[in-house]
Structure 1
Amino acid sequence: MSAKNMFLKPGFVRAPLQNGVGRYVCQLQRIVFKFCKSSGGSRGMRDFIEQDLVDFAKVNPGVVVYLKPRRHRSPVVVAEYLNGDRVWMSCHNKTHEEITKWIEVCRTQQGNNADTRLRKYQYTDHPSIQGPWTPFTFKDPELNTTVLPNTKFGANNRLPISATEQLRLMFEKQKLYEGDEIKTAE
């Protein structure tokens, strides 16, 4: 374990409430916009509040939005999530577009996991020196430069004929045989 992880709180990676399996639950619970009504550094924040805040609140009815005007202070956005995390972000001298993008980032993430030391349920004294397995570990390198679809790398030429295809071929042969028999009888 490296020394930088010694002072981080430990935690496990988990999908909150299996988010996305059934219905999507927005993890953003509350967002607070702190700004100055007269400061030049808060201009982008004031533009966002005037133009886009009402639409943001209509689209996201599960998110509580607070406006907190403060005199002679730098603009700040504080996002609070369902898991208890708080993300604090300074918006000093940011444009309206930049603030819109950062609000979208806050809306779509599930909190600040950067300050958590990730733990695993499994542990080994002798980790693999080969690295993790990926689906591309044992693929042919020629596949990188090949124009696809290619019969050499296609899965269709390696598989045996399916049962449905066998029945279709048998039916076509039977139709041809019955057709020849009818023609000879006439």
Structure 2
Amino acid sequence: MSAKNMFLKPGFVRAPLQNGVGRYVCQLQRIVLKFCKSNGSSRGMRDFIEQDLVDFAKVNPGVVVYLKPRRHRGPVVVAEYLNGDRVWMSMSNKTHSEITKWVDVLRTQQGDNATTRLRKYQYTDYPSVQGPWTPFTHKLPELNTAELPDPAFGANNRLPMSATEQLRLMFEAQKLSGKSEDLKTAE
């Protein structure tokens, strides 16, 4: 474990299971836009409020939007989620389009997992020294540059014919010989 994880609060992933299978539940519960009416660093926030805030509120009726004007302070966005997480972002000197993108990011995520040291339900005293398994672990390196399909790398030329394939070929041969006998008797 690295030293930076020692000071983070431990917790498990609290993601809602299968969110979006039946219906999607937006995890953003409340968003607070704090800004100054006269400060120059709040210009992008004021433009966002004037142009896009009403449309954002109409499109996302489940999200409560608060505006909090503050004198001589920089613009801030605070997002609160259903799982109790709060994300605080400074929007100082950001443009209208950047603030629009950040608000959309806050709307689509499920909270701040960067401040939580993720724990697993399983634990072992002897972790693997071989590294994680991937689908390419035991593959030939020549496959990286090969033009596929290539008969040299095909699995069918190395394996003997399966019983199903043998039965299918026998049936087709019998069917063809049966048709030729039917043609002879018809003549």
Q: For the superposition of Structure 1 and Structure 2, which TM-score range results when normalised by the shorter chain?
A: 0.7 to 0.9
Residue aligned with 2:180, SS = helix
Structure 1: gaps (5+ residues): none
What's 1:84 paired with? Answer: 84
User: Aligned AA for 2:5?
Assistant: N
Q: Cα gap change, 1:114/1:148 in structure 2, threshold over 3 Å: closer, same or farther? A: same
CA distance in 1, matches of 2:157, 2:106: 48
Residue 124 of structure 1: CA displacement? 2.1
What's 1:69 paired with? Answer: 69
What's 1:180 paired with? Answer: 180
Q: What's the RMSD between the two structures over aligned residues?
A: 2.6
Q: 2:150 matched to 1:150?
A: yes
Q: Cα gap change, 1:143/1:86 in structure 2, threshold over 3 Å: closer, same or farther? A: same
Residue aligned with 1:110, SS = coil
Scaled by the length of structure 2, the TM-score of the pair is 0.82
Give the paired residue count.
Answer: 185
The percentage of counterpart residues that share the same residue type is 82
Deviations 1:88-142 (A, max 9, x none): 0010110111111111211111111111112122222222222222222222211
Shifted more, 84-93 versus 176-185: the winner is 176-185
User: Aligned AA for 1:55?
Assistant: D
What's 2:11 paired with? Answer: 11
User: Aligned AA for 2:64?
Assistant: V
CA distance in 2, matches of 1:46, 1:2: 42
Residue aligned with 2:133, SS = coil
What's 2:28 paired with? Answer: 28
Residue 17 of structure 1: CA displacement? 3.2
User: Aligned AA for 2:123?
Assistant: Y
What's 1:128 paired with? Answer: 128
Q: Cα gap change, 1:51/1:121 in structure 2, threshold over 3 Å: closer, same or farther? A: same
Scaled by the length of structure 1, the TM-score of the pair is 0.83
Shifted more, 40-49 versus 2-11: the winner is 2-11
Residue 179 of structure 1: CA displacement? 3.5
CA distance in 1, matches of 2:167, 2:55: 58
What's 2:96 paired with? Answer: 96
User: Aligned AA for 1:24?
Assistant: Y
User: Aligned AA for 2:96?
Assistant: H
Q: Cα gap change, 1:157/1:57 in structure 2, threshold over 3 Å: closer, same or farther? A: farther
Deviations 1:73-92 (A, max 9, x none): 21111100011000000101
Shifted more, 154-163 versus 14-23: the winner is 154-163
